Amino acid sequence: MHAAPLRLLALLASWTLSGSTAADVRIETADRTTGARQRPTDASMPRLAPALRRPDNAQFVRVRDAINLALANLSRREQRRLLARLACSHAAFRDRQLFAACKDMLHQPKDTRWRTLLNHVLNESSISQRPRKGCTSNLPGTTPVCRKQKVMLLHFSKASGSAVCRLAQAAGCTTWASDGNCGRRQREYADGPWWIPVSHAQSAWERSRFAYPDAIARMGSGRSNCSERLARAPQFHAVESTLPGGVPCPGFFTLAMLRPPLERMVSHSFELARWGLVRPRKQGFCSNYSHMRRLAPAVYDNYYHRVLLGERVLGLPPGAITSAHLAEAKRVLSSLQLVLLSNDASTPATLQRATGIANFTACRDTTRPAPCAMSDEDSERARRDNAHDLALYAYAERLAAQHVAKWGAGMG
């Protein structure tokens, strides 16, 4: 391994983890023979550069260009090894959950491993933004509810569930030791993300990390019931697949966060692409609704209903969600102890008052242009296809307002 790229990547690691800004950072390398300063240029980028082109963030661009410059003179094998070390080094500095996710990625097919590793570290660390004033809550004197009652997070993907998991750990809540995002992936729980049918998975790794059975009858097979979870689960655990049996478990403090359905859908498109689940890539991802709906039907067809109502609903074909399901989903949602909106300014303080989980941020950068968007035709179709989720989200807005008022008044 060449020493110069390693020194540069060490500099990148210290910079991105310290939260430096554009004003105080200059990424340059020195020519070892002349001592001249070099700036990253398009000519210095190797063939892997197109996979890194998402220039929607100034920090991302600088980090990407510097990494490409460091990689320019390395072999493909050395590139993969170096990127893996960089990603796992970032992960080790961040937290144990991110490090576990990094190790999991090493089991991916070799031809996609390096790209996913780099995308993961850049998304999770390099371009993460520090909480801004007025967006977070750190009230004195709050006690984590997990100390007196076990907590279950109904984790809707791309709606801040991962952040809540990390903050629960920071608050001292125990979680599963070896599983990322506080969800137990083993068969007896099957609480990890269920994004694609198992028939769409192209490797054992994809089947174990993201897939759900094609047959509805097999989805709930072997999953722990509520009494088993209450006895065995740690103080805080998350369910990202679907609510077991479609019924909230008694004895738990159960919370959920929701995000506007179409906004969440576009974000989920990036997540699927990031994990290498969009094939072929030339079909596009967030800008091609029809293609993505075929790849991941549960994600693009009334996803909130499918997670709330359990295995019998998650596996239904697209278009099968009805108004009867909407009424049932409202009943389930209203029975949760806490329902909040991930984008709402009142969420951080309410979350801390209700659960003792501090430092959540509800800020999103709404000034940055969307890196891609669905066509007007696809947007309209997405609204029609997800009409029940849109109605459920409107109900969640009213429910969240009630919970904000309740906890703001100091009620438990």
In the chain the domains, ranked by start, together with CATH numbers, are 3-126 (no CATH), 145-361+371-408 (3.40.50)
| Measured distance CA(48)–CA(46) in Å, rounded | 5
pLDDT at 139: 78
Take residue 7 and report the two structure tokens written for it.
């020194």
Q: Distance (Å, rounded) from C-alpha 271 to C-alpha 44?
A: 28
At residue 274, φ and ψ (nearest 5 deg) are: -60, -35
Got the DSSP string for 271-289?
Answer: HHHHTT--SSGGG-STT-H
End-to-end CA distance of the chain: 57
pLDDT, residue 316, reads 94
Q: What is the C-alpha separation between 306 and 310, in angstroms, rounded? A: 6
Comparing CA positions, the residue from 244, 411, 228, 260 lying closest to residue 337 is 411
Place of tokens 């963030």: 57
Provide CB contacts within 8 A for 346, sequence distance 6+.
362, 404, 408
Mean pLDDT, contiguous 10-residue spans, the chain (412 residues): 43 38 29 37 34 42 53 59 54 44 48 48 38 64 92 96 92 83 87 92 89 80 89 95 94 97 89 82 69 91 97 94 98 98 93 93 60 76 96 98 87 52
Q: How far apart are CA 182 and CA 162, in angstroms?
A: 8
Only one residue has tokens 């689940």, namely 277
Alpha-carbon gap, residue 262 to 293, rounded angstroms = 13
pLDDT digits (tens, 9 = 90+) for 71-124: 555 566 665 566 555 555 544 444 444 444 444 544 444 445 444 544 444 443
Going by their DSSP bridges, the two strands 196-197 and 338-341 should be labelled as unpaired
Half-sphere exposure of 145 (CA within 13 A, CB side): 23
DSSP assigned state of 73: T
* Cβ-count burial 397-410 (b if 16+ within 10 Å, e if not): eebbeebbeebeee
Whether pTM exceeds 0.85: no
CB 167 within 8 A of CB 361: no
Query: Per the structure block, which two tokens stand in for 111?
Result: 């031809």
Q: What are phi and psi of 389, to 5 degrees?
A: -65, -40
Q: pLDDT tens across 198-246, in order?
A: 999 988 888 888 988 888 777 777 789 999 999 999 999 999 999 999 9
